[in-house]
Amino acid sequence: MSSRTPLIAGNWKMHKTGFQAVEAASQLKRLVNRATDVEVMIAPTFTALYQVAQALKGSTIALGAQNLYWEKQGAFTGEISSEMLVEVGCSHVIIGHSERRLFFGETDASINLKIRAALSASLIPVFCIGETEAQREAGETFSVLDKQVRDGLKDFVFDDLSGLVVAYEPVWAIGTGKTASKEQAQEAHQFVRSLLDTLFGKPFASAVRILYGGSVKPDNVRVLMEMPDIDGALVGGASLDPETFSKLVFFNE
């Protein structure tokens, strides 16, 4: 294992009302209280963020949002700015999730603007990338990842990106129960890390955390986490139940 502190992040997607989110967050707080040497983050839906932030007080669990808009304010009906997220207690924000790319038309260019907005508000972006099944079958995995990383991080320099987290999530593994094998995941992570080395240099590439996402469960987390370039997990389905999620946090036990 590397010296990078693992990050286990839960993406609750469009699940849980505010009330349900507070219940789950409070339970999780009790369950992972004793966790050391691992960071934990949960990303509830926007409307639950403030309540969950209150419920998490006194714990080390970080709060993340699932999206933001890059403008600071203005006539952008339905959108949320980075400053608004900071105000309700967020330290992280998931950007460019494949569901946002697929259902909401997000592009590498809009993701780039969102990463910039997050970093300028001192939010930690969890920048998601990953190939579809068709792209993998066509042998395009590395070229897809290469483009997503280059365009998503276009015009940044090393100094801008401090804290950035990357999440490799093969689209065919999200919510399908089909996890990438540890070899497939490691190969992709290694590719991304070496690309980040080329773009931003070794100190950045060796410090940046690259999470794996896609059907991570208590029974597969450990083998994935043993791989040298996998620094954590971005978890959807298995993050909804606090007991199950806490097993991921204690992947080492």
From the list 39, 106, 131, 169, the catalytic residue is: 169
Beta carbon nearer to ligand PGA, 131 or 169: 169
- Window 144-173: residues binding ligand PGA (CB under 6 A): 169
Closest approach, Cβ 131 to ligand PGA, in A, equals 14
Query: What single DSSP character describes residue 26?
Result: H
Work out whether 44 is an interface residue with ligand PGA (CB under 6 A).
Answer: no
Q: Which sign does the torsion angle of CA 249, 159, 199, 103 carry?
A: positive
Work out whether 131 is an interface residue with ligand PGA (CB under 6 A).
Answer: no
Give the one residue of 130, 214, 232, 242 binding ligand PGA; rule: CB under 6 A. 214
253, exposed or middle or buried, with CB in 10 Å at 0-12, 13-18, 19+? exposed
Identify which range of 16-24, 116-124, 189-197, 214-222 contacts ligand PGA by CB under 6 A: 214-222
Work out whether 174 is an interface residue with ligand PGA (CB under 6 A).
Answer: yes
Q: Is 189 a catalytic residue?
A: no
Pull the structure tokens for residue 8. 């286990």
Beta carbon nearer to ligand PGA, 200 or 224: 224
Nearest C-alpha neighbor of 252 from the set 215, 224, 229: 224
**Distance in angstroms (rounded) separating the CA atoms of residues 21 and 173:** 25
Work out whether 213 is an interface residue with ligand PGA (CB under 6 A).
Answer: yes
Answer left, alpha or beta for residue 76, where phi above 0 means left and psi between -120 and 50 means alpha: beta
From the list 97, 99, 106, 131, the catalytic residue is: 97
